[in-house]
Amino acid sequence: MLQKEFEALTGKKVTAEEYAEIEKVYMAIDNMDKEEFCAAWNEQKFGYIVGELVKSVQELTKWRDHWKKRLDEAEERARGAAFELLKGANEHNDEDLKEAAIDLVGMKEAVSIDLKEEFKLSEAERDYLLEYLQ
């Protein structure tokens, strides 16, 4: 919604700064069109507007929690795969497998797995530890 639209729908003139703040509220509400928003604003139904903001926040929170759970699950699968890659790298002295594990979970996690499982460290892992310890 443009400032001119807001002013036309509410019959109120606002400064650009005021409209910038109003627009933040309007844009944060997912399920209210501009006519409904302006009518509520005009009638000073700020409780209603806040209620709609709360609904939007609740929906965003559900969305965030869903994707956080999915991300956590993916990270856990990646750690499991990295463990298997590092185990194979250790058993077969295979630097390609080790590099694949590092690419998958990062140097810190790969070094952590190697140390916990007493796997051999690569030169890159030793360099990482020495850099970290300085």
The model's pTM is 0.64
Residue 34 lies in a domain: no
DSSP 93: T
pLDDT at 31: 83
* Domain range enclosing 107: 64-134
Residue 28 lies in a domain: no
Residue 52 lies in a domain: no
CA distance 131 to 124: 10
User: Which among 60, 116, 52 has a CA at the least distance from the CA of 86?
Assistant: 116
CA distance 55 to 35: 19
List the chain residues with pLDDT less than 70: none
pLDDT at 40: 93
Q: How many CA atoms lie within 13 A of 73 on its CB side?
A: 6
pLDDT at 86: 98
Residue 126 lies in a domain: yes
Residue 41 lies in a domain: no
Residue 11 lies in a domain: no
Residue 26 lies in a domain: no
pLDDT at 30: 82
CA distance 132 to 113: 16
pLDDT at 114: 97
Q: How many CA atoms lie within 13 A of 7 on its CB side?
A: 10
Q: Roughly what angle, to the nearest 10 degrees, separates helices 34-42 and 46-92?
A: 130
Q: How many domains does one find in the chain?
A: 1
Residue 8 lies in a domain: no
pLDDT at 61: 96
